[in-house]
Amino acid sequence: MRKYLLIFVAVFLSMSATAQKFDQLAKTPPMGWNSWNKFHCDVSEALIMQAADAMISSGMKGAGYEYIVIDDCWQISRDENGEIVPDKDRFPHGMKYVADYVHSKGLKFGIYSSAGTVTCQRRPGGFGHEYQDARTYARYGVDYLKYDWCGSTTQDAKSSYTNMSSAIKAAGRPIVFSICEWGSNKPWEWAANVGHLWRTTGDISDNWNSMIDIFNKQKDLARYAGPGKWNDPDMLEVGNGGMTTEEYRTHFSLWCMLASPLMAGNDLQKMTPETKSILLNKEMIAIDQDSLGRQATCYRDNGNYQIWVKTLSNNEKAVCLLNTSDEKKSVLVDFSLLASIRGGGRGFGGPMPPAPAGGVPGMPGAQGAAAQGVPPAGLGAPAAGQGVPPAGQGMPGGMGPGGPGGQRGFTPLTLENYKVRDIWEQKDLVLKETSMYVELLPHAVKVYRFVRK
Binding region for ligand GLA (CB under 6 A): 36, 71-72, 119-121, 148, 180, 203
DSSP-derived pairing of the beta strands 108-114 and 262-264: unpaired
Q: Shortest approach of ligand GLA to residue 17 CB, angstroms?
A: 27
Q: Which distant-in-sequence residues (6+ apart) come within 8 Å of 361 by Cβ?
A: 367, 368, 369, 374, 377, 378, 380
User: Shortest CA distance to 448 belongs to which of 200, 256, 176?
Assistant: 256
| Cα-based distances in Å from 317 to 252, 327, 340, 392 | 17, 28, 10, 23
The three-point CA angle 207-325-309 to 5° equals 90
DSSP-derived pairing of the beta strands 297-301 and 197-199: unpaired
Q: Shortest approach of ligand GLA to residue 43 CB, angstroms?
A: 11
Residue 112 pairs with which residues in a beta bridge?
A: 146
User: Shortest CA distance to 302 belongs to which of 449, 440, 420?
Assistant: 440
- Round to whole Å and give the CA distance between 437 and 421: 16
Nearer to ligand GLA, 180 or 379 (CB): 180
DSSP-derived pairing of the beta strands 305-311 and 317-323: antiparallel
Nearer to ligand GLA, 72 or 316 (CB): 72
Nearer to ligand GLA, 36 or 161 (CB): 36
Alpha-carbon 49 to chain mean position: 26
Nearer to ligand GLA, 40 or 93 (CB): 40
Q: Shortest approach of ligand GLA to residue 232 CB, angstroms?
A: 10
Strand order in the sheet with 108-114: 230-232, 197-199, 176-179, 144-148, 108-114, 67-69, 31-34, 262-264
- Round to whole Å and give the CA distance between 301 and 344: 14
What ranges in 80-207 are assigned the alpha helix state H? Answer: 94-104, 130-140, 157-171
Q: Shortest approach of ligand GLA to residue 404 CB, angstroms?
A: 36
Candidate list 148, 232, 288, 290, residue with the active-site label: 148
How many other C-beta atoms can be found within 10 angstroms of the C-beta atom of residue 163? 21
- Name the 3-class secondary structure at 331: strand
Q: Is 23 a residue of the active site?
A: no
> Taking the chain, what is the end-to-end CA distance rounded to the nearest angstrom?
60
Q: Shortest approach of ligand GLA to residue 119 CB, angstroms?
A: 6
Nearer to ligand GLA, 119 or 165 (CB): 119
Number of Cα atoms under 13 Å in the Cβ half of residue 297: 31
Q: Is 53 a residue of the active site?
A: no
- Round to whole Å and give the CA distance between 209 and 326: 12
Return the residue nearest ligand GLA (CB atom): 120
Candidate list 23, 203, 213, 220, residue with the active-site label: 203
Nearer to ligand GLA, 116 or 405 (CB): 116
Evaluate whether 370 touches 437 at the Cβ level (below 8 Å): yes
Q: Shortest approach of ligand GLA to residue 67 CB, angstroms?
A: 14
Nearer to ligand GLA, 262 or 309 (CB): 262
Q: Shortest approach of ligand GLA to residue 148 CB, angstroms?
A: 5
Q: Which distant-in-sequence residues (6+ apart) come within 8 Å of 223 by Cβ?
A: 346, 347, 348, 349, 350
Q: Shortest approach of ligand GLA to residue 308 CB, angstroms?
A: 25
Q: Shortest approach of ligand GLA to residue 267 CB, angstroms?
A: 17
AA identity, residue 298? C
Nearer to ligand GLA, 235 or 284 (CB): 235
Nearer to ligand GLA, 43 or 423 (CB): 43
Q: Which distant-in-sequence residues (6+ apart) come within 8 Å of 129 by Cβ?
A: 78, 82, 84
Active site residues: 148, 203
